[in-house]
Structure 1
């Protein structure tokens, strides 16, 4: 009987430790990840127009580098709109040295397509150039 209690306590402890490490694992650092895809907004838009289901499977939750021209700056939301189609949000400090019309490459995590606003969304972006 005593042996069964010890085994049961050991199993409960092992499951608890595994659950703890699963729940409190480190968050992804998109800035430190290698980009899986390097693409322009226009090419991105073309792939989604051809087959949005395949494009979503390909890009969703992946680290991507996207090149385009800044069309809108929203410092209050820590966001940029690139080529009027890509809504990109910063995770940290919003840079003050960017301007509308500037061509740049950003790296971030693709979140999805917003049907209502007709925009592609990436978050946790960093500016590559």
Structure 2
């Protein structure tokens, strides 16, 4: 009887540990991930304006590397607008050397497409050298 209780206890501890590890997985580090897709801003923007459900299935929550020209910079909130079509929120401090009309290569997680503003939303962005 004691042996059955002991084995049942071990099984419950093992299952509990497995559930804990599954629920509390580590967070993604987009800066170190390899980009799933590399494209220009216009390529991804056209994909969303042509068929947003197909583009969502392809790009949503994926690591995407984009290239384009900086439209606006908000150093306080760490947001850069690229080609007036992508709103990129950065995790770290923005370099003071960047300015509007500079070409930029950035990598981040594509969060979605805002139909109202017609803008692609990205977060956890970083500048790719």
**Do they fold alike, i.e. is TM over 0.5?**
yes
Q: Distance in 2 between matches of 1:25 and 1:51?
A: 33
Gaps of 5+ in 2: none
Q: Which residue of 2 aligns with 1:5?
A: 5
Do structure 1's residue 95 and structure 2's residue 91 form an aligned pair?
no
Do structure 1's residue 112 and structure 2's residue 123 form an aligned pair?
no
1:20-59 CA-partner distances (Å, limit 9, x unpaired): 2123322111111111111111111111122111111110
Q: Which residue of 2 aligns with 1:80?
A: 80
Q: Distance in 2 between matches of 1:24 and 1:121?
A: 26
Q: Over the residues paired in the alignment, what is the CA RMSD in angstroms?
A: 1.3
Pairing 1:1-129 to 2, within 5 Å after superposition? 1-129=1-129
Q: Distance in 2 between matches of 1:124 and 1:67?
A: 16
Gaps of 5+ in 1: none
